[in-house]
Amino acid sequence: MVALTMGEPAGIGPELALRAWLMRKEGGLPPFLCLADPALLADRAEALGWEVKLREVAAGDAAEAFPTALPVLPLRASAKAAAGTPRREDAPAVVEAIERAVELVRLGEAGSVVTNPISKEALYAAGFPHPGHTEFLGALAEAWTGAAVQPVMMIAAPGLRTVPVTIHIPLARVPSALSIELIVSTGRIVAGDLRRRFGIHAPRLAVAGLNPHAGEGGTIGTEDETIVRPAVDALRAEGIDARGPQPADTMFRPEARQGYDAALCMYHDQALIPVKTLAFDEGVNVTLGLPFVRTSPDHGTALDIAGRGIARPTSLIAAIRLARVLAGGFA
């Protein structure tokens, strides 16, 4: 069973959950349990004119309910945002949905977590202390295991997987945030989860350079020679097939993509632009390095179109399918 959070109540998450359930018979969508305010889902379905039967259930009853009704695990906190207008008052419900989804997996009542997009601005206004979903899930994983956890973001699409080594920080801070140790630990986690979750026996990692042309031997910045290349050497010394630093402007062409299983990129947009350009509707955000499987659509809350019924559920459906596969076998 996949535990699906509603995401930002004012965004497209609630209607994506509704639309995904309506499309459940197309391509054998795995059953999912939606953690949400049932009243919010009912109001959104009515406003859109969609006939969606909702059933409030315990986690153990979700699979049985799924063929005829969207199973919903009600939240203790309510969410009353109108489509397109986030409210800081809804932040407790957003956070609760994520926490309870992780708890369901910890208790063995769900196999994986899929999260709809959140509005970080709305959460920040309510005192949310984490930079984003990925970091919050890392904190929950640390509470679960009692050990330090490094969550790693992977964006997976057909034919391309990318990983940003630095994530939600300003571009100006990237050079100082990069280190040999960070690249090595990220590469180690990626290689490990490619083996463990994706069934790739001998993962191949392409490591992008930070600077244009991977620095051209230090003439366009020194970081690729002093940080990236030593990190690649260290990964190779551990038996990981890592290659780089490679010029980022050529490593995503079709021929180059055939030579690796995942690309390690030095900053957020260097990793996300290729996937969103090549497979915007099929990209899935996968968090590696956690003791549980978590995926998410590779897009935001889309407040500008929320409540209009035009948001495509393709990425959410891909996230649900991938979560089920990663939790139970090989992708």
Q: What is the pLDDT of residues 74-96, one digit of tens each?
A: 999 999 999 999 999 999 999 99
Residue ranges matching CATH 3.40.718.10 in the chain:
1-151+291-331, 153-289
> Does residue 33 contact residue 1 with C-beta atoms inside 8 Å?
yes
Gap between the Cα atoms of 28 and 235, Å rounded: 39
Chain segment 27-64, per-residue pLDDT in tens: 778 999 999 999 999 999 999 999 999 999 999 999 99
Q: Which CATH number fits domain 1-151+291-331: 3.40.50.2030, 3.40.718.10, 3.90.320.10, 1.20.58.60?
A: 3.40.718.10
Regarding the domain delimited by 153-289, which CATH topology (the fold level of the hierarchy) does it fall under?
Isopropylmalate Dehydrogenase (3.40.718)
Q: Give the pairing type, strands 284-288 and 294-297.
A: antiparallel
Mean pLDDT for 200-206 is 97
pLDDT higher than 70, residue 330:
no
CA dist 272 and 283 (Å) reads: 9
The larger pLDDT score, comparing residue 131 to residue 270, is at: 270
> What digits encode the pLDDT tens for the residues 271-312?
999 999 998 888 999 999 999 999 999 889 999 999 999 999
Query: In the chain, which ranges are continuous DSSP H helix?
Result: 13-22, 38-48, 62-65, 91-106, 120-125, 133-145, 174-177, 180-196, 223, 229-237, 254-257, 268-279, 314-328
Determine the Cα–Cα distance for residues 242 and 249; give it in Å rounded to an integer.
18
Q: What is the pLDDT of residue 260?
A: 98
Beta strands at 152-157 and 160-164: parallel, antiparallel or unpaired: antiparallel
Query: Per-residue pLDDT tens for 148-162?
Result: 999 999 999 999 999
Give the per-residue pLDDT at 331. Answer: 53
Name which of 30, 24, 34 is nearest 323 in CA terms.
Answer: 30
pLDDT score of 17 more than 70:
yes
Closest CA to 40 of 4, 1, 83: 83
**pLDDT score at 109:** 95
Q: What is the mean pLDDT of residues 99-107?
A: 96
How many helices and strands, by DSSP H and E, does the chain display? 13, 12
**Do 114 and 320 contact (CB within 8 A), yes or no?**
yes
Distances in Å between the Cα of 252 and the Cα atoms of 4, 249, 260, 271, 297 are: 31, 7, 10, 10, 21
Parallel/antiparallel/unpaired status of strands 70-74 and 112-115? unpaired
Read off the tokens for 100.
Answer: 């309870």
Over residues 204-260, the pLDDT tens digits come to 999 999 999 999 999 999 999 999 999 999 999 999 999 999 999 999 999 999 999
DSSP 225: I
pLDDT at site 151: 93
Q: Over the Cα atoms of the chain, what is R_g?
A: 20
What is the three-state SS of 244-259?
EEECCCCCCCHHHHCC
Whole-number mean pLDDT of the chain?
Answer: 94
| Residue 329: predicted pLDDT | 56
Query: 113-169, pLDDT tens digit by residue?
Result: 999 999 888 888 888 888 888 889 999 999 999 999 999 999 999 999 999 999 888
How is residue 25 written in tokens?
């018979």
